[in-house]
Structures are given as C-alpha cells and as structure tokens.
Amino acid sequence: MPVSSFKTPEKYKYQNGFSSYHESEAVEGALPIGANSPQKAPYGLYNEKLSGTAFTAPRHENLQTWLYRILPAAAHAPFESKEANTYKTNPGDLKLHQIPNQLRWDPFDLDEKVDWIHGLHLVAGAGDPTMKQGIGIFNYAAGKSMDSKEAFYSADGDFLIVPQHGSLDIRTELGYLLVRPNEICVIPRGIRYNVSLPEGPVRGYILELYQGHFALPELGPIGSNCLANARDFQAPVASFDEDHGGSGNYTLISKFNGHLFAAAQNHTPFDVVAWHGTYYPYKYDLGRFNTVGSISYDHPDPSIFTVLTAQSDHAGTAIADFVIFPPRWLVAEDTFRPPWYHRNTMSEFMGLIHGDYDAKTGGGFRPAGASLHNVMSAHGPDSGTHLKASTAELKPMKVGEGSMAFMFESCLMVGVTEWGLKQCQKVQPDYNAESWEPLKVHFKRPETLQNKDKNGTGEQRPDLGKWVGES
C-alpha cells in the first residue's frame, strides 16, 4: 500500500504538488487580485517578495513567492554573533578530513538536553556556502522544543530533513508541517521556522544543499509516472499569529556561513496572512515512492531509487541525489541480486531510518547509524551477504520489509569533520575488517588451461583453442 503508517496522526491541511504554483490565504481576500504589489495591500498588510533564485532565472527554474504579512521580515534589530562553543555547524571552522577509507558509524546518540539549533552537528561536507557551492551533511539530535518566540533560518542552503526517531512539528512562515519518520521535508534557504517536538526526543539526518534547489529526477524511458510522483508532495497552507504590540520579545537566529547570529524583534515572525508562488517548504511520505526495477537480469543502477536530485552544470551529474531503498520485489534471474562491488566517482553517504538494510548482514549497519564511501573507495556487499546471495534460490522475493535505508549521493569528494571522525566516538574501527577482509578466493583454474605456452610467453584459452596473442 503506497502510504506509511505513523504513530502520530496528521493534524494539518496541505496543498498537493511538487514545483506547483500554490497560493494560500488564512483570511479570505488577503491575496491581492491582478497585482503582486498594490499601493495598498488588503487589510493593511505589507507586500514582501521572497526570491529563491535570481530574478532572471529561466522560467522553468525560477522560484519566487509573494508574502502578505503584518510587518516586513526586515523589522528586527541588528544581528549579533552567538556563542560559538555550543554548536557545530560551521564548515570553515571545522576542519574537514578527506580520506579514502570506508567509514561506518554506530547509531548517533539522542540528546535530551538541547533544542533543534544546538542539536545540529555537521558530520561531513564539501564546498563553500559563501560561494553557493557544495553540500553539508548533518546529524541532528534534540530533546527540547525551540522556544516558541524563536525562529531559525539558514542562509547557507536548503535543508532536506530525514527524521529517524521522533516527529517534528515545524512552524514555517508559510504554514505548518508535521514531519514523522518515513517522511522527509525540505526547508528552502532563508525560510524562517520553529521546531517543536510533540513526541519528545528526536534524531535524524540533514542534507544541506548550498547550490541550486532540489528537483524531481527526469524519468526518461520510464515514462510519465513512477518514482516520486509530483502529486504526493505537500506544501503548507497559510497560518499566522498576531503579536505586534511591541511588548513581545522574539529572537531570530540565522545560520550564515555556518556561524549562528541572533537578532531581537518585538513582534512575531510568523505573521504571513497569505502567500502565492513557487518557493515554499514541502514534505513527502517515502511510503508513496513507486519503485521500478529489473524483471529479467542484472541489478540496475541505484539511480532508479532517486527521490530528489540537484544537478550540477553537467547534465546527469548531481551535486546531490537523495536516494531510498524501500521494500520491493526482486525477480531477476541468474543474477547476483544485491548491489555489485563497485568503485564510484560519486560519494555515497548512507543512513538507515528503520529495519535492516538488505545488502548488509551482521548488524553493523543499524538505524540512526551511517556509512560513507567516498570517491572511488571500493565497497559493496559484505562477505556474509555475498555468500547468501551467491547460493540463494532465485525465486521472486520481497526484500526490505519493514526497512527504509537512504543515500545522500554527490559528485563531490566529501570531507569528514573532527566531530564526525573522532568527537562523536561512533566510527566503527573494524568496518573494513568485518565486511570485506573475510571474503574468500573461489577462483579455480580449469584443468585444460596451461600455465604457459611452450615459449613461456602466453596462456592458452580453452574456449578458443589457441594461444593468446596468436593471430
């Protein structure tokens, strides 16, 4: 059934559609008709434009939204730098270790002492947010809701949030999103939001995209449907507060080049009465993903499991792909069904939301854990999985039941922070030794194959009946 079951029931209304032009008003008549910026907006509201791309970006990729709010977003005191010793979000200050070793992490800890902002830990990344190039990969773990009079935004990039434990009740300027494990959400660059925790402690993963925005992958010969269907993405409806008497004490927190800055304002930041446009937060239920795969032979490339992509300037090469491995049927004949052993020009950071990943055995890859196989670092099924897959009866079988693994894939070489490599104390030192060093040699030279020819220069190929190199 193409829908997930959730512990926390849905409580919000949404608008459906990916990259659709949406409009929403919490008060009827708040959206102006026939103009975006009338001399006097309805009900005395302020007109404000939120630009996610350059004004002159091509129409098919242009992302802009008009907001109609009680006070403009600019109405706050100057930003001041926040304390730097309680957060770990800055790629410039945190040294990145680019290493070829295969890495795997035990489950990251829950942390009930901190809120969303102080629960962010940069694990790995590449590039530079000041140049709008690259990505950041975060673990988040929090046990407290943000103060209701705080709002947070990242000027560095779009947050793709993947909950693993606990639900996120996210209030954005444009409305509410309830995001639960097996759902994802994207909060675009600059959009302000507050995170509360309706079920207590939370934990999960974030891919921050410094350049461009996420899009649905092209389907090519697949056709017009399958993978993540546009209709299943959900955007919020307008919702607002009225607290503008000057007596409020609100704090706006900005992540700017990884550093945190705070500004005071005496009115609520959540005062958007209406909005329309193409730049907005959204969520998606991974249980609705419509998988495709081989029904004859060979394991296909993991690109067929791409939910969202952010392409580089080179078509078909992604700065970031978000890929999932959901429950699915395998029916291929005379085929080694798990992923083949490979070395990849792309970097692969994997996480597990729940269940067991079908390409690993032994329990080393667990929910809330992760792995990183960097550019050209060889990897593939561990020895136990290889043995099992090589001897299995090849009948139709369902894999991944009760499981959801995912991958952040990038064409960039990903560096690991000091926190991710050492301070978190979660890196498994024996990952390689447990996974691939136990692989055994199964090669058997055919008896008909001679070691050397009579001149000692070549080897005989019994399928051709002549010497290699002989014309």
Question: Which three-class secondary structure string do you get for 266-297?
Answer: CCCCCCEEEEEECCCCEEEEHHHCECCCCCCC
User: Cα dihedral angle (226, 227, 230, 236), rounded to 10 degrees?
Assistant: 140
- Distance from chain centroid for Cα 456: 56
97 is in an annotated binding site: no
- In a 3-state reduction of DSSP, which class is residue 23? strand
Burial letters 312-345, b for 16+ CB under 10 A, else e: beeeeebbbbbbbbbbbebebeebbbbbeeeebe
Q: What are the CB-based long-range contacts (under 8 Å, 24+) for 436-444?
A: 436/379, 436/380, 436/382, 436/383, 438/383, 439/383, 439/386, 440/383
d(CA 367, CA 106): 9
Of 118, 244, 259, 299, catalytic: 299
CA distances from 386 to 42, 183, 198, 285, 340 (A): 66, 31, 42, 32, 9
Report whether 342 belongs to an annotated binding site. yes
Nearest residue to 105 (alpha-carbon basis) of 186, 210, 205: 205
Written as one letter, the residue type at 363 is: G
- DSSP secondary structure of 101-129: S-EEEPPPPP-TT--TGGGEEEEEEEEEG
Is 280 one of the annotated binding-site residues?
A: no
Please tell me whether residue 187 adopts helix, strand or coil conformation: strand
The owner of tokens 């070793």 is 101
Tally of residues, the chain = 471
- Across the strands, what pairs with 370? 105, 351
CA-CA distance, 246 to 241, in Å (whole number)?
A: 14
Do the beta carbons of residue 159 and residue 177 sit within 8 Å? no
Q: Is 299 a catalytic residue?
A: yes
Residue 379 assigned ligand-binding role: yes
Three-state SS at 442: coil
Q: How many helices (H) and strands (E) does the chain have?
A: 3, 31
Residues belonging to the binding site for homogentisate are 357, 379
Residues belonging to the binding site for Fe cation are 342, 348, 379
Residues with catalytic roles: 299
Residues belonging to the binding site are 342, 348, 357, 379
